[in-house]
Amino acid sequence: MDIEKIDKNFKTAIVNNSEFNYYNPRHAPFVLEGFPFLKKDTAPYCRLPLESLSFFSEGLQFLAYHTAGGQIRFCTDSPAIAIKATIGEKSNMNQMPASGQSSFDCYCGIGKDKKFIGISIPSVDQTSYNNIIPISGPSAIHEITINFPLYNSVKEVSIGLHPGAKILLPSPHVLEKPVLFYGSSITQGGCVSRPGNAYCQIITRWLDAPCINLGCSGHAIGEPEMAKIISSLNLSAFIMDYDHNAPTAEHLQRTHEPFFKIIRAKNPNLPIILVSAQPQLSTTAGGIHRKNIIMETYLNAVHAGDKNIYFIDGNTIFGTSEQDSCTMDCVHPNDLGSMRMAEHIYPILLQALNTKN
């Protein structure tokens, strides 16, 4: 890892009697991930192309600015970091704490060996905050990964380091191209306690891969425009999990296979994993019918010779014990449920990546 020229346009502030220089994470040597369409330095943090937003509902346009899956990566010898942020809204969700909705959480470690070390949380009445996260261990170079909030927009964020601290490029990912997840509020991260506990983030941390999280709470309905956006990206794998948000089985039948085919047409060798809804829905008569629709997409692809298509039955995704402890409200996974999802999806994804044609 080579030391890069550091942006000299930093701002200095005193926080808890410690001095920090604050840097823009959009500038090298910081690496910003999870926003594949972010083109301009001044553009808002948005998960979709700004020019595409008019194709979607008002609700999805709003959610596009939620920053689930976003990450800042860098290396430093600073003994502490500070995260200064302005978010779009107060943390007012009744089913999800501010630590999941609006916080940045921080990991330290290289490659797959990343450990949670702290979190920057706003109080429920704050939209601007500035918190320090100490880095334990000897004075040395540490690789840092910071996850963006799951259910809020980020107007501004800057990273504070002690004066004179080195800033270096992070190590390359083991898996260079991103893994993209498309789905409902569950994919977006509802309702875990902090960003790094969302199943998408857990899986990509285990893989050491960039993450693109296109979870669209209540608004993942399989639009062709969304499929075209996804198909335009160069990915390692794609997880397609929007059963929960398809308003009816008829809608799912009408959209599921066409959505898959748009992506497959432009990405013939991309590993694609189809996931049906989690146990609370999948065991009902309607849920079984919906699962069969997704299975039909899978079987049609297999019969057509597709060797890079996989299916996961959502009924099994929380494991075989204590399934009732896996959700916050009988639908949205808590931290345990999210970990169970990651544990179930990860080996299938690993198989798909290792056997890709």
- As a whole number of angstroms, the distance between CA 120 and CA 172 comes to 25
**Higher pLDDT residue, 288 or 310?**
310
Q: Does 5 have pLDDT greater than 50?
A: no
Q: Does 2 have pLDDT greater than 50?
A: no
Q: Does 41 have pLDDT greater than 80?
A: no
| H/E element, 322 | none
Instruction: Kindly write down the DSSP assignment for every residue of 247-295, as one continuous string.
Output: SSHHHHHHHHHHHHHHHHHH-TT--EEEEPPPHHHHTSHHHHHHHHHHH
Per-domain residue ranges of the chain: 11-34+70-168, 179-354
Q: Does 272 have pLDDT greater than 50?
A: yes
Q: How confident is the model at residue 284 (pLDDT cuts 50, 70, 90)?
A: low
pLDDT of residue 9: 60
**Higher pLDDT residue, 244 or 67?**
67
Query: In this predicted structure, which of 111-120, 132-141, 152-161, 286-295 has the lowest mean pLDDT?
Result: 132-141
Mean pLDDT for the chain? 93
Q: Does 246 have pLDDT greater than 70?
A: yes
Q: How confident is the model at residue 276 (pLDDT cuts 50, 70, 90)?
A: very high
What are 229-243's pLDDT values in tens digits?
Answer: 999 999 999 999 999
Looking at residues 349-354, what average pLDDT do you find?
A: 95
Q: Does 146 have pLDDT greater than 90?
A: yes
- Report the sign of the C-alpha dihedral through residues 254, 258, 259, 260, in that order: positive
Residues 6+ apart with CB under 8 A from 63: 188, 216, 217, 219
CATH code: domain 179-354 is: 3.40.50.1110
pLDDT of residue 15: 76
Q: Does 8 have pLDDT greater than 70?
A: no
Q: Would you say the CATH fold of 179-354 matches that of 11-34+70-168? A: no
Q: How confident is the model at residue 10 (pLDDT cuts 50, 70, 90)?
A: low
**CATH class of the domain comprising 11-34+70-168:** mainly beta
Backbone angles phi, psi at 91, to 5 degrees: -80, 90
**Higher pLDDT residue, 356 or 215?**
215
Instruction: Kindly write down the DSSP assignment for every residue of 170-234, as one continuous string.
Output: PPPPSS-SPEEEEESHHHHTTT-SSGGGSHHHHHHHHHT--EEEEE-TTT----HHHHHHHHTS-
Q: Does 69 have pLDDT greater than 90?
A: yes
pLDDT of residue 243: 94
- As a whole number of angstroms, the distance between CA 5 and CA 180 comes to 31
Task: Let me know how many helices (H) and strands (E) the chain has, helices first.
Answer: 9, 16
Looking at residues 310-335, what average pLDDT do you find?
A: 92
Residue % of the chain over a pLDDT of 90: 84
pLDDT of residue 357: 55
What are 165-214's pLDDT values in tens digits?
Answer: 999 999 999 999 999 999 999 999 999 999 999 999 999 999 999 999 99
pLDDT of residue 11: 77
pLDDT of residue 18: 83
Q: Does 59 have pLDDT greater than 50?
A: yes
